[in-house]
Amino acid sequence: MPKPSHKDTLIAEGMRVIHEFGFNGASVRDIVKAAGVPHGSFTNHFASKEAFGLEVIELYFERARLEMRETLLNDELKPLYRLGKYIDVHIRLISLNDSRNGCLLGNFAADSSDSEAIRARINAIFAETEKSVLYCLRAAVAAREVRADTNCEQLATFIVSSMQGAFLLAKAQRDPAPVVNLKEVLFSSVLQRA
C-alpha cells in the first residue's frame, strides 16, 4: 500500500505559516509542525525551501487568478465596477486577522530578494496582474467610463504598485484604511471620467 502524500497539507498549512511569519521567518520545522506531518515529509516532496515557496506562491496565485476572472476580466460587469470590486475583494482579504498578514505576494517580494527564482516568479505574477488591470482599463475607455486619452498601461502599473504599497501600510498599521483610501482617491481623483 502506497504511503499517503502530505504534500497538499504541507503547502496549505505552509502558506498560512508563511503568510503569518514571512518566508524567512517561517522555518521548515514550523511548517511541518503546523501541517502535523513528520519532518521527512517535507524533504520527500520538496528539494528545498525555495522550491516549497514557489509551490506556495502558485497556490496563492491560483486563487488570485480566480478573483481576477470574477472581477477585472469579467466582461458581464461594467469596467469601473469590476475594478472597484477587485479592490473591495482585497480590502476584505487584507482586513482578515486585523490586517496583520498583508499580501502574500508582496511579502514574498520583500522577504525573498536573495532567491532569483522567487523574485522572477513574483515579477511575472505582478506583470500578469497588471495585464488584467490593463484589460479592465481599456474596457473602461471603450465603454467611455474614462477619458479616451487615458494612458492605460501607465495607470495599470500605478494601480498595482499603489495597491502593493497600500497592503504594506495596512500590515504595518494593522488597519485596512490605506487600501480603502487608495480606492477612494483612485475613483475620485485619478480616474478621469469621459
Share of residues in the chain with pLDDT > 90 (%) = 70
- At 126, is the pLDDT very low, low, confident or very high (cuts 50, 70, 90)? very high
Domains of the chain: 1-46 (1.10.10.60), 57-190 (1.10.357.10)
How many Å from the N-terminal Cα to the C-terminal Cα in the chain? Answer: 66
Give the residue, 18 or 1, on which the prediction is more confident.
18
CA atoms within 13 A on the CB side of 81: 7
Residue-level pLDDT at 1: 54
Go through 101-138 and write b for each residue having 16 or more CB atoms within 10 A of its CB, e for each that does not: bbbbbbbbbbbbeebeebeebbeebbeebbbbbbbbbb
Residue-level pLDDT at 83: 98
pLDDT of 23-65, one tens digit each? 988 899 999 999 888 888 898 899 999 999 999 999 999 999 9
Give the sign of the dihedral formed by CA 146, CA 150, CA 156, CA 159. negative
Of the ranges 2-6, 156-160, 163-167, which one carries the lowest mean pLDDT score? 2-6
Asked if 31 and 116 count as a contact pair (C-beta separation under 8 A), the reply is no
Mean pLDDT, the chain, whole residue set: 92
CB atoms within 10 A of CB 25: 12
